[in-house]
Chains A and B, each alone.
Chain A
Amino acid sequence: NAGVTQTPKFQVLKTGQSMTLQCAQDMNHEYMSWYRQDPGMGLRLIHYSVGAGITDQGEVPNGYNVSRSTTEDFPLRLLSAAPSQTSVYFCASRNSGLGETQYFGPGTRLLVL
């Protein structure tokens, strides 16, 4: 299994540009989440999905869209990038049980100029 994969690993955007961060998992996990991690801060939940076709907002959803058309994929779209979205983005997945291990992707470092 490849686990949770994310692309790209690193991206530089100009303010106002849009882009999609890709996330895929091959473990047939129901739950997938997107987090951002800023220096000196813990991970903050952006959006999450409890299954294909179902998404919901997390703690910091503004400026981001998600969709979950398949179990495997959970892309995160930045609609109009802003410098405040400079961060490291992590995708994670797990099964739906309370005690299930959460698996993380390697992260995407995004710099918005």
Chain B
Amino acid sequence: RKEVEQDPGPFNVPEGATVAFNCTYSNSASQSFFWYRQDCRKEPKLLMSVYSSGNEDGRFTAQLNRASQYISLLIRDSKLSDSATYLCVVNGGQGGKLIFGQGTELSVKP
């Protein structure tokens, strides 16, 4: 079983749609959780950290369920500029190592 698993994608949605990404992780000792965004041939950029209480940043909402070891990202009113690969990232416990999911590609069409 992979340490971090995401929806395989790709997701093709029209502008304005709401899209949800799911992620599960295997290490129950993980303490920090993130969503990163990666554009084609670029480095990942931090989108948001994920907290147990859930957090929202504009059109983006992240949720964490520690009991189920499940993380989600919801994007509302999607824009063309949201097209990218979204990476679920979990700290691996020792030394601050981050474990990346394989990513879910999102393509927003006009």
Genuine A/B complex = no
Which A positions have Cβ atoms within 8 angstroms of B?
none
